[in-house]
Amino acid sequence: MKNKELIRGIIAPILTPMDENEEVNETELRNQVRRLIENGISGIFAFGTNGEGYCLSETEKERILAVVVEETAKKVPVYAGTGCISTKDTVRLSKKAEELGADVLSVITPSFAAASQEELYCHYRALAESVGLPIVLYNIPARTGNALAPDTVARLAEVEGIAGVKDSSGNFDNMLQYMENTKGKDFAVLSGNDSLILWNLLAGGTGGIAGCANVFPRRMTQIYEAFTEGKLKEARQYQDSIREFRGLFRYGNPNTIVKMAVEMLGYPVGRCRRPFSMISEEGTKKLGKVLEKYREAGIC
């Protein structure tokens, strides 16, 4: 299968349900996998940013991936977030994900220590030479401190096994440059910012990895479906409809808002792991009001 056929649509970075003791709730994880698939999601991404991959142990990641792979049952591709700070650890975790049945690797840039573009290039090339799964580069400099420059992405697109990039920089021009620099190649460019999914598609991208899909999966898939059917007016309406919810991110970590919203919709997914679990009283009230408005409109 070509990269652009595999890596496309609305991919849900599934949240990681937890109980009151912050232990992974496997029963609800399975339920969320089924819920996403039933609503037309194109792929499921385990332990990404919305899945709290940054504060899960490696043992937990392995178990979560095993559950997601089993419950998905090949209905949609499974992505695994295997990026670590070191190349050695990234390769080890990626090989484990391949062994457990993942279909695609989503690999965030190394974090904390500053990395040059040449170091980033060598990091990803070494990974591609070590595993047999397609790799999606993950650019989110606000969280990692390291940005993948368009020229570096163009170089990496020439490496066998590197199949695409997810851009969560929020800079649409950066995403456009990824597309321009890989034009004519079988290389997928995904939006990691939910508000830019339609614009990504219009510019020649293949879709998005959308945290909001945890809250209203059907509405997010409608953006992609309407676009592919040529119904651009409807696609724009669907895209614009999520703006009010995303406006709530000013009240806390977006992951926290998303997970609390899913909990408020009646799914026992719990809170994010501390300390990333707080939202103000004002934010909680406004979240409740927005969700009620969305329920009345049939969005969730």
* Interval 113-124: pLDDT, tens: 999 999 999 999
**In this structure, what DSSP letter does residue 109 have?**
P
Q: Which of 149, 148, 226, 160 is nearest to 187 (CA)?
A: 160
pLDDT at 295: 96
pLDDT at 67: 98
Q: Write out the E strands in the chain.
A: 9-12, 43-46, 78-81, 104-108, 135-139, 162-167, 188-191, 207-209
Catalytic residue among 79, 124, 138, 267: 138
pLDDT at 1 over 90: no
> For the structural domain made of 3-231, what CATH number should be given?
3.20.20.70
Q: Cα separation of 280 and 269, whole Å?
A: 19
Q: Residue 285 — pLDDT band, cuts 50, 70, 90? A: very high
Residue type, 34: R
Residue ranges of alpha helices (H) inside 182-216 are 197-203
Q: Name the token pair of 159.
A: 């490496």
Residue ranges of alpha helices (H) inside 185-265 are 197-203, 217-228, 232-240, 243-246, 254-264
Reduced to 3 states, what is the DSSP secondary structure of residue 186?
coil
Average pLDDT, the chain: 97
Angle at which helices 281-296 and 254-264 pack, to 10 degrees?
50
Q: Is 286 a catalytic residue?
A: no
Q: Cα separation of 26 and 170, whole Å?
A: 32
pLDDT at 111: 96
Residue type, 145: G
Q: Which of 186, 164, 217, 195 is nearest to 11 (CA)?
A: 217
Percent of the chain's residues with pLDDT above 90: 99
Catalytic residue among 166, 251, 259, 294: 166
Q: Which residues of 99-122 are buried (b: 16+ CB within 10 A; e: fewer)?
A: ebebbbbbbbbbbeeebeeeebbe
**In this structure, what DSSP letter does residue 191 have?**
E
Q: Cα separation of 201 and 40, whole Å?
A: 18
Tell me if 179 sits within 8 A of 204, measured CB to CB: yes
End-to-end CA distance of the chain: 33
pLDDT at 50 over 90: yes
Q: Is 138 a catalytic residue?
A: yes
Query: Domain limits of the chain?
Result: 3-231
Kindly report, residue by residue over 130-162, the tens digit of the pLDDT.
Answer: 999 999 999 999 999 999 999 999 999 999 999
Predicted TM-score (pTM) of this structure: 0.96
Q: Name the token pair of 93.
A: 């975790």
Q: Indicate the burial class of 23 (C-beta count within 10 angstroms; 0-12, 13-18, 19 or more).
A: exposed
Kindly report, residue by residue over 182-234, the tens digit of the pLDDT.
Answer: 999 999 999 999 999 999 999 999 999 999 999 999 999 999 999 999 999 99
Q: Name the token pair of 36.
A: 């996403």
Tell me if 40 sits within 8 A of 221, measured CB to CB: yes
